Structure 1
Amino acid sequence: MSKVWFVTGSARGLGRSLTEAVLAAGDKVAAAARNTQQLQSLLKQYPDQLLTVALDVNNQQQINEAVTATIARFGRIDVLVNNAGFGIIGAAEAFTEEQVRSQLETNLYAPIAITRAVLPYMREQRSGRILQISSIGGRVGFAALSIYHAAKFGLSGFAESLAKEVAPLGIFVTSIEPGGFRTDWAGASMTYAQQVEGYETTVDARKAFMESGKFVPVGDPEKAAKAMIELVKAPQQPLHLVLGSEAIGILKQNNTNRDAEIAQWEKVSLSTDHSEAEPFLTSVEGRQYLK
């Protein structure tokens, strides 16, 4: 039986590649985008499989209407893909209040709101797949991307907690964590804070590299789309799926560094336990907490 997908940010980039691949595979898609005119060629090609819905992901009324329209057209939502988002570069102190809010609202609050709108239907179905498109920047932080990382770390954490919460309902959740892919994330979608003195070797260096044209991502969005389609066919889903050799390399190095830091400071960490406390991992509370 064909699946019904709800994909945000479907008009371009990874969302567009995924929408095209899902339709070609014979599934149905509610393609959500701010500008649905960019989806007209697909609508002509797949009139019975595709529903286009206008969606500003920061507008709760539009979220509700888009979900309701999808249920009215297709009767269910089997796969939710929260893909809409954008990047922003700058020193933490240099971002405007509007830039901070816009980043958090689009990359964190919106996926949470859309997930919450879809969950009642998946709960009633006792089935569903949710793919939160986070980033390797949801696991590892770099200079100049502090607000972006704040949103993506939050989204990855939300996905990990939610996965454990909804597993008994037959709903699987995965945080998709790509490295650089050949979309316009570092191009037309990227925004910048005003330059501030003192960050020449960190923030300014990264901004210059991004604007130089020398950043050529290794990831192929069409291959990422194929991987996600295969993922939702699998009997189980991982909590995290890292995409691309760049992301794998970054994560492995970060894990090595983090393990070394834990070992170096473990004595200090353990010294803060109450004198009457049982070691956490062997305690009843610890075993219950980690379930």
Structure 2
Amino acid sequence: MFGFIQSADGKLPGNQGLWDQHLGIKWVHDNILAFTGNPKDVTIFGKSAGGASVIFQSLYPGNRGFFQRVIAQSGSALAYWAVHATPNAEPLIAKKGCERAPDPVKCLRALMPRQLQDDDTSAWKPIIDRDFLISSPQEIFFGNFTHTQSARNFFASLDLMTGANNFDGALYFRDYTDWQRPNDSATLLFSLLSMSNDVGFFYPAVSTVKWHAVLRKGKTHLYELSVIPTTHTLQAPNWIRSAPDASMVGYHTDNSPYGDSPSTRHGDGSRT
């Protein structure tokens, strides 16, 4: 939360988490030679929210020279879930009685973690602060504005690999039943997950690589992971048509929505 909390008055500017990532990347660039690494041959990688994060880092010109390649797995700055349009700290600050505090963050930090966890269900995300993120990813990618040119040029100069798993959408739906067809919820959930995956993960990845490829500067790679391995550490119902092995490919579906022990769904009488 504290990495991305932002307020409308500017006292809480937001994007602290992105600045922390930037400093970590800079540290690697400045010190990797001492570990026999090559500061001119650095790749940053992220998955899910981390995938969006590495794209955000690739849109910040202050990172120029710190890395040369980007791998964004199942995450993009263009995803609907990746960024806040407006600050959203005020409701939480008011709810916790910190609105009159000289330092609202210090006031929130004085609370027990459970007090924040129990009452706050917000998704804390990066925000367009006109500093780290000079504009929205959509404007940077698809607009033709002078103030976003530096961000566009930096992103275009990098080699990019991105894509998604064919069932990343399983993160968001624990169950779905159409009560007009209560015995066919497995088929219905499959369709719902496919739509969720396209909207939340694959379409943003495709949009990102389309723009990157048009500029013809860095190399561009797009993938979709859908192969089911012959051996795996976790099991999933057979209507999940993707590889369920976190140890091999880090699939979103390994840990959600089934927890540590996937169970049979409605309309599915078997396990794979």
- Shorter-chain TM-score tier: 0.3 to 0.5
| TM-score normalized by the length of structure 2 | 0.35
Flag the structure with higher helix content: 1
| TM-score normalized by the length of structure 1 | 0.34
